[in-house]
Amino acid sequence: MEWFANNLIESILIIGVVLLIIEIVVLGFSTFFLFFTGLAAIVTALIIWLGLIPETFLSTLISVSAFTLVFALALWKKLSALQNKTDTKRAKSDLIGHSFVLPADIVVALPLAEKPSYQYSGINWQLNALEDLNRGTMVEVIQADVGSLLVKAKVP
């Protein structure tokens, strides 16, 4: 504890950097509290080093607390907006382009529960199409969703 008191600036700086590393690397920037506190500790260490506040434990604690609050108020909305972005791009699948012979007729007007299925890779996939297709037609997968494949007739 004596080393911490004698090297307050370095200790607070190290604590700030460690908190930032934990927040960004370990937690994947999922909580902001450690990020705000780490930034506040680094700024406090800089302010103490510049001699703007006294090098005491109480002033350090007050400064870190105040800067944590300031950073939270200033950055909360912007950082939470970063987390709420969703990617609308469809994921690429190895199933797209897979060809097989249609095991049963596909009628577009039928509900999904009545559509034929195709077993591939240990999963029974429901088959959908944009047009009616007859049994025995060579088809190709054009879109893969959870438990369902969209197929079209393969042109030779």
Claim to verify: residue 58 and residue 119 sit in the same structural domain: no
Claim to verify: residue 7 and residue 48 sit in the same structural domain: yes
Claim to verify: residue 43 and residue 107 sit in the same structural domain: no
Of the two residues 87 and 97, the one the predictor is more confident about is 97
Domain end residue (candidates: 29, 55, 83) = 83
Claim to verify: residue 70 and residue 7 sit in the same structural domain: yes
In a domain, 22, yes or no: yes
Residue 49 is predicted with a pLDDT of: 93
* pLDDT tens digit sequence for 77-96: 888 887 777 767 766 778 88
In a domain, 23, yes or no: yes
| pLDDT of 145 higher than 90 | no
Claim to verify: residue 78 and residue 110 sit in the same structural domain: no
Claim to verify: residue 52 and residue 7 sit in the same structural domain: yes
Claim to verify: residue 32 and residue 64 sit in the same structural domain: yes
Whether 151 and 102 have beta carbons less than 8 Å apart is answered as yes
Tell me how many domains the chain contains.
2
CA distance 4 to 95: 59
Claim to verify: residue 61 and residue 122 sit in the same structural domain: no
Percent residues over pLDDT 90 in the chain: 37
Structural domain of residue 50, as residue ranges?
A: 2-83
- In three-state form (DSSP H/G/I as H, E/B as E, the rest C), the secondary structure along 104-155 is CCECCCCCHHHCCEEEECCEEEEEEECCCECCCCEEEEEEEECCEEEEEECC
pTM: 0.56
